[in-house]
Amino acid sequence: MSLFNISDKNQLKSMYNNVVKKYEAYKALNLNLDMTRGKPCTEQLDLASGLFTCLAEDDYKAGGVDCRNYGLVDGLPEAKALFAPIIEVSQEQIIIGGNSSLSMMYDTIARALLKGVPGVNEPWSAKGKIKFLCPSPGYDRHFAICEHFGIEMITIEMTVFGPDMDEVEKLVASDESIKGMWCIPKYSNPDGITYSDETVDRLASMTAKAKDFRIFWDNAYVVHHLTDTPDRLKNILEACEKAGNPDRAFVFASSSKISFSGAGVAMMASSENNINVIKKQILIQSIGPDKLNQLRHVRFFETADNIMVHMQKHAFILKPKFEKVLNILETELADKQIASWTKPNGGYFISLNVLDGCAAAIVAKAAEAGLILTSAGATFPYGKDPRDRNIRIAPTLPPIEELQKAIGLLCICIQVVSLEKILKSN
């Protein structure tokens, strides 16, 4: 039953003593559990072990190009053919890069700061303070890029349809210093929300005061489904084109959570206009990406359809982990009304909201007992959750028995801290 319906203070105290006892029992186990990051587990990585052997030593040519040598700054055409369908763009709209889509995002912002965005050659850095909209909770590494470059972050609340579009439209239409917006449009980190068609259309068509306002569309979980009825995301580039803002969005993705997180293939896509300018810019930075690793991906996956089949194998490994977490949360917390959580159809996270003001204390409590979670606040700009309530759960890396212990412990920590709060306020 809801803890808030219990008026008997002694009953609350006895509950509290009970969970503290359980907490001490966990502590005695000397656990050492790390749930900080959304890393794939060994079994997932093993799915792509064919990448080690799929290139014979005489198999280094693609379309006449010796992939061992310099060149092809925008990536191997064969890799474009493989990945373009995954993010629903043409081969003229895509660049295949190195192993990190985060680098492609960082570099795109660094270029905008120093040179301006394609078509508007006014460096962002020459315009004084600039701002980014940051739907939150969101991805800490996006926010870290902004903080690093001194870009002011404006927190936008997430709804079940995506960012609060009324707020977004109002701000973007009125403030010329707003130059960018982060979006994780599918199975968002950490909420697992997929933007609605209306959200995509409003983002594409809204009026922007700054002509160099750009959307950073990090489609990190584009094929990372957990169900047989995956979410569908409207194509932002098509929507922008249709709305008369063809150059508004930069799309990013990678195979980091398809093949290998450390040795995958990253990509970006945009209007042909943007891509043609960016190709020339990145030729200043590099003679070309690692084409052999791109060729490995081409040989191993062969087709976009095979990637979809491969992702079902990932889902087969991940689904029981997500279900385990959700079941424990349900069993331990559902009736108590001290926490709520998302049930995502894909992605890498479960987003947990606890009572206001309790997240940091819960994360600290867990750490004290040997469970390291993503820092409370990490999912918000400047690492500060205004309500101190969001905790990001990353179920992918730990084996299921560890996960069980970890979430069991987390549920106890939530109860301890919540009961302390309730008792104090009574």
Nearer to a second copy, 83 or 195 (CB): 83
Query: Are 55 and 420 a contacting pair, CB within 8 Å?
Result: no
Question: Cβ of residue 335: shortest distance to a second copy, in angstroms?
Answer: 37
Question: Cβ of residue 356: shortest distance to a second copy, in angstroms?
Answer: 30
Question: Cβ of residue 134: shortest distance to a second copy, in angstroms?
Answer: 16
Nearer to a second copy, 113 or 165 (CB): 113
Angstrom distances, CA of residue 96 to CA of 185, 242, 264, 275, 294: 20, 25, 11, 11, 8
Question: Cβ of residue 241: shortest distance to a second copy, in angstroms?
Answer: 29
Question: Cβ of residue 71: shortest distance to a second copy, in angstroms?
Answer: 7
Angstrom distances, CA of residue 357 to CA of 239, 260, 278, 283, 360: 40, 37, 44, 49, 7
Question: Cβ of residue 57: shortest distance to a second copy, in angstroms?
Answer: 4
- Residue 37 CA from chain centroid, whole number: 11
Question: Cβ of residue 366: shortest distance to a second copy, in angstroms?
Answer: 22
**Nearest to residue 188, comparing CAs of 159, 227, 146?**
159
Cβ-in-10-Å burial (0-12, 13-18, 19+) of 16 comes to middle
Nearer to a second copy, 99 or 345 (CB): 99
Angstrom distances, CA of residue 365 to CA of 30, 369, 403, 410, 417: 14, 7, 17, 9, 8
Q: Angle, to 10 degrees, between the axis of helix 197-205 and the axis of helix 165-174?
A: 0
Nearer to a second copy, 123 or 408 (CB): 123
Nearer to a second copy, 4 or 52 (CB): 52
Nearer to a second copy, 144 or 308 (CB): 144
Question: Cβ of residue 265: shortest distance to a second copy, in angstroms?
Answer: 10
Per DSSP, the residues of 124-170 read GGGGSS-EEEEEES--HHHHHHHHHTT-EEEEEEEETTEE-HHHHHH
What is the spatial distance between Cα 11 and Cα 250, in angstroms, rounded to a whole number? 55
Angstrom distances, CA of residue 138 to CA of 150, 165, 183: 18, 16, 8
> Could you list the residues that contact a second copy (CB under 8 A)?
37, 39-40, 42, 45, 48-50, 52-53, 55-60, 66-72, 98-100, 102-103, 106-107, 110, 113-115, 123, 125, 141, 144-145, 148-149, 256, 260-263, 281, 284-293
Angstrom distances, CA of residue 88 to CA of 10, 236, 238, 256, 268: 60, 10, 9, 18, 12
Nearer to a second copy, 187 or 260 (CB): 260
Nearer to a second copy, 196 or 256 (CB): 256
Question: Cβ of residue 224: shortest distance to a second copy, in angstroms?
Answer: 15
The CA dihedral of 127, 129, 135, 138, to the nearest 10 degrees, is 110
Nearer to a second copy, 9 or 280 (CB): 280
